[in-house]
C-alpha cells in the first residue's frame, strides 16, 4: 500500500468510478444528496476568498440521469422495474434520484474489495428505497446494520415528532470482512447495575454463569460497553471548531467510528461525495489511504485548504495528496485483439443491426462506426464493455462526448420536428 497516493478528484464520481479497477477499495463511505428538494449553499472562505459553496438536491429526469442508463436498463431490468414502480408512488424526482444512485452503487460495489464494506448515509426521505437497491446490488445477506445517527438541533413544526436522526446502512461485499468492535463509555444506566462498593470504593456487581456467581468490577470492564447501532454524536453546530462552513458537513467523530470499525491502518478508504472531505481527514488521522471525489470545484478548493492547513492557517497538516481533474483509466480489463470488422460484426448482432443512438436499422455492419461509450480521452478503453456501434450521423454528433449528450441532442431534435 505504501505506493498508493491519496487522491482528490474534481469530477462526477460516476466517471471516476468507471475508470477504477475492480476490487481495489477497502471501505466506501458515501453521504450523497438526500433528495431533500433543497439547494444547499453558504458563503465560505477559501484560499481564493469568500465564495458560494453548495450543491443542488432537487432532482429531475432530464438533467440528473445519465443516459448511460440505456445499458444500465439492459443489464438490470428488475432493478429498473423497481425504480420505475417507486417513481409511480413518489414521482419522477424520486425516480431520477434512485436511478442516479443505483448507477453509482453498482460501480461502488465493483470497485470494493471482496473483503470490503460500504456505508451509505441517508435519511428517511429515501432510506427505505435505497435499502432495496443496496439489497439488490450487495445481496440481502450482506446487509449488516442500519445505524441510527441521533442528534439534537433546532427544528420547526409541531405536528410531528421532531426529526433528529439520519440513517447509515452498512453492507459488506461478502461474509469475510474487516470489523473491529468499538466501545463507548458506560452510561449511568449501567453504573446503576454495579450496586456494590468494596472497602476501597470500587464498584462491583454479581454476574451469574451457569448457576455460579462471580464478582465483576466496573473498572475491569474499562473498555466500556460494545457500541450498539444507535449513535449519539452531536450535530456540528455553527461554532464547532472543526466547522469549515461547507453545508451538510459531517462530524469527524462519526467518520472516526466508521473507519476504525471497518478498516485497518494502511487500508484504502473512498468517499465519492466527499464535500469538504471529512472522510479524508478522518482517514488520514487514522493512518488510512484515501480517495475523495466531489463534482464541485468549491468543495474541492475548500478541501485542499482544509487538508493543508490547521485552523490557524499556518501549519501544514498533510500535503501528501494529488488534486486531480483527469480521470483514472482502468488497467484490469483485457484489451481486444479483434480487428474492426470482427468488432463491427459482434456488435451488429448484439444491437440487432440498429444504431445505439437514434435506433435506425442498417442492412450491413459496415455502415456503422465503432464508438467508445466513455470517450477515449476520458476513461474509456478499447475493451468490449466500452464499445458500441453508432450510425455516421450519431457518431459525428457524439464526437468525444458522453452518451447523454448524444441522446439529449436526438431527443431535442425529435421534439423540434414534432413542433414544425
Ligand X SMILES: C[S@@+](CC[C@H](N)C(=O)[O-])C[C@H]1O[C@@H](n2cnc3c(N)ncnc32)[C@H](O)[C@@H]1O
Cell numbers of 282, please? 478522518
Which position among 59, 171, 177, 246 is part of the footprint of ligand X (CB under 6 A)? 246
Q: Could you tell me which residues come within 8 angstroms of residue 59 by beta carbon, excluding any fewer than 6 positions away?
A: 35, 93, 94, 96, 97, 100
Which position among 69, 391, 406, 407 is part of the footprint of Zn ion (CB under 5 A)? 391
Beta carbon nearer to ligand X, 281 or 343: 281
Question: Contact between 357 and Zn ion (CB under 5 A)?
Answer: yes
Which partner, Zn ion, ligand X, none, binds residue 87 by CB below 5 to 8 Å per kind? none
Beta carbon nearer to ligand X, 275 or 381: 275
Cell numbers of 247, please? 453545508
Cell numbers of 312, please? 490557524
Q: Could you tell me which residues come within 8 angstroms of residue 25 by beta carbon, excluding any fewer than 6 positions away?
A: 111, 112, 113, 116, 268, 269, 270, 291
Which position among 80, 149, 169, 273 is part of the footprint of ligand X (CB under 6 A)? 273
Which position among 51, 178, 190, 295 is part of the footprint of ligand X (CB under 6 A)? 295
Q: How far is CA 179 from CA 87, 172, 261, in A?
A: 36, 10, 5
Give the nearest distance from C-beta 115 to ligand X in angstroms: 24
Contact letters for ligand X, residues 11-30 (x by CB under 6 A)? -xx-----------------
Which position among 278, 284, 351, 356 is part of the footprint of ligand X (CB under 6 A)? 278
Which partner, ligand X, Zn ion, none, binds residue 270 by CB below 5 to 8 Å per kind? none
Which partner, Zn ion, ligand X, none, binds residue 299 by CB below 5 to 8 Å per kind? ligand X
* Residue 332 to residue 19: CA distance in whole angstroms: 10
Binding to ligand X, residues 296-335 (CB under 6 A): 296, 299
Beta carbon nearer to ligand X, 35 or 296: 296
Stretch that binds ligand X, among 154-162, 202-210, 222-230, 287-295 (CB under 6 A): 287-295
Beta carbon nearer to ligand X, 170 or 344: 170
Give the nearest distance from C-beta 354 to Zn ion in angstroms: 8
Which position among 53, 167, 282, 394 is part of the footprint of Zn ion (CB under 5 A)? 394
* Residue 33 to residue 122: CA distance in whole angstroms: 8
Which partner, ligand X, Zn ion, none, binds residue 357 by CB below 5 to 8 Å per kind? Zn ion
Q: Could you tell me which residues come within 8 angstroms of residue 55 by beta carbon, excluding any fewer than 6 positions away?
A: 33, 39, 40, 247, 295, 296, 299
Question: Contact between 248 and ligand X (CB under 6 A)?
Answer: yes
* Residue 267 to residue 136: CA distance in whole angstroms: 26
Burial 362-376 (b: 16+ CB within 10 A, else e): beebebbbebbbbbe
* Residue 70 to residue 376: CA distance in whole angstroms: 20
Which position among 294, 301, 371, 379 is part of the footprint of ligand X (CB under 6 A)? 294
* Residue 235 to residue 153: CA distance in whole angstroms: 7
Which position among 26, 31, 166, 256 is part of the footprint of ligand X (CB under 6 A)? 31
Question: Contact between 292 and ligand X (CB under 6 A)?
Answer: no
Binding to Zn ion, residues 316-355 (CB under 5 A): 355
Question: Contact between 250 and ligand X (CB under 6 A)?
Answer: yes
Question: Contact between 249 and ligand X (CB under 6 A)?
Answer: yes
The total number of residues written for the chain in this structure: 420
What is the residue-wise DSSP string for 91-145?
-HHHHHHHHHHHHHHHHHHHHEEEEEEEEEEE-TTTHHHHHHHHHHHH-GGGEEE
* Residue 54 to residue 357: CA distance in whole angstroms: 34
**Binding site residues, ligand X, CB under 6 A:** 12-13, 31-33, 55, 246, 248-250, 273, 275-276, 278, 293-296, 299
Amino acid at each position: 500500500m505504501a505506493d498508493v497516493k491519496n487522491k482528490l478528484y474534481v469530477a462526477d464520481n460516476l466517471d471516476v468510478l468507471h475508470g477504477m479497477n475492480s476490487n481495489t477499495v477497502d471501505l466506501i463511505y458515501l453521504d450523497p444528496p438526500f433528495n431533500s428538494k433543497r439547494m444547499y449553499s453558504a458563503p465560505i472562505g477559501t484560499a481564493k476568498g469568500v465564495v458560494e459553496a453548495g450543491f443542488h438536491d432537487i432532482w429531475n429526469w432530464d438533467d440528473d440521469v445519465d443516459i448511460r442508463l440505456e445499458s444500465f436498463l439492459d443489464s438490470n431490468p428488475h432493478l429498473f422495474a423497481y425504480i420505475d414502480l417507486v417513481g409511480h408512488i413518489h414521482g419522477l424526482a424520486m425516480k431520477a434520484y434512485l436511478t442516479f444512485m443505483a448507477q453509482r452503487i453498482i460501480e461502488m460495489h465493483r470497485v470494493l474489495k471482496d473483503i470490503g464494506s460500504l456505508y451509505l448515509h441517508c435519511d428517511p426521505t429515501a432510506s427505505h428505497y435505497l435499502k432495496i437497491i443496496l439489497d439488490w446490488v450487495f445481496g440481502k445477506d450482506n446487509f449488516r446494520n442500519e445505524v441510527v445517527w441521533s442528534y439534537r438541533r433546532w427544528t420547526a413544526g409541531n405536528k410531528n415528532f421532531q426529526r433528529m436522526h439520519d440513517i447509515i446502512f452498512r453492507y459488506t461485499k461478502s461474509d469475510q470482512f474487516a470489523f473491529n468492535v468499538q466501545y463507548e463509555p458506560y452510561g449511568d444506566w449501567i453504573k446503576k447495575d454495579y450496586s456494590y462498593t468494596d472497602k476501597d470504593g470500587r464498584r462491583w456487581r454479581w454476574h451469574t454463569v451457569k448457576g455460579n456467581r462471580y464478582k465483576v468490577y466496573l473498572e475491569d470492564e474499562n473498555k466500556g460497553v460494545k457500541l450498539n447501532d444507535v449513535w449519539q454524536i452531536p450535530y456540528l453546530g455553527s461554532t464547532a471548531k472543526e466547522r469549515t462552513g461547507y453545508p451538510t458537513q459531517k462530524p469527524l467523530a462519526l467518520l472516526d467510528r466508521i473507519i476504525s470499525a471497518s478498516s485497518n491502518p494502511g487500508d484504502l478508504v473512498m468517499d465519492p461525495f466527499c464535500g469538504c472531505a471529512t472522510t479524508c481527514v478522518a482517514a488520514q488521522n487514522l493512518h488510512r489511504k484515501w480517495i475523495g471525489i466531489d463534482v464541485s470545484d468549491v468543495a474541492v478548493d475548500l478541501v485542499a485548504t482544509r487538508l493543508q492547513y490547521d485552523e490557524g492557517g499556518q501549519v501544514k497538516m498533510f500535503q501528501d495528496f494529488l488534486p486531480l481533474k483527469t480521470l483514472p483509466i482502468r488497467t484490469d480489463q483485457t484489451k481486444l485483439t479483434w480487428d474492426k470488422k470482427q468488432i463491427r460484426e459482434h456488435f451488429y448482432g448484439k444491437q440487432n443491426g440498429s444504431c445505439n443512438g437514434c435506433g435506425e436499422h442498417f442492412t450491413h455492419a459496415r455502415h456503422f462506426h465503432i464508438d467508445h461509450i466513455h470517450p477515449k480521452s476520458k476513461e474509456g478503453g478499447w475493451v468490449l464493455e466500452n464499445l458500441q456501434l453508432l450510425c455516421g450521423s450519431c457518431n459525428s454528433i457524439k464526437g468525444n462526448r458522453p452518451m447523454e449528450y448524444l441522446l439529449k441532442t436526438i431527443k431535442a431534435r425529435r421534439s423540434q420536428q414534432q413542433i414544425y
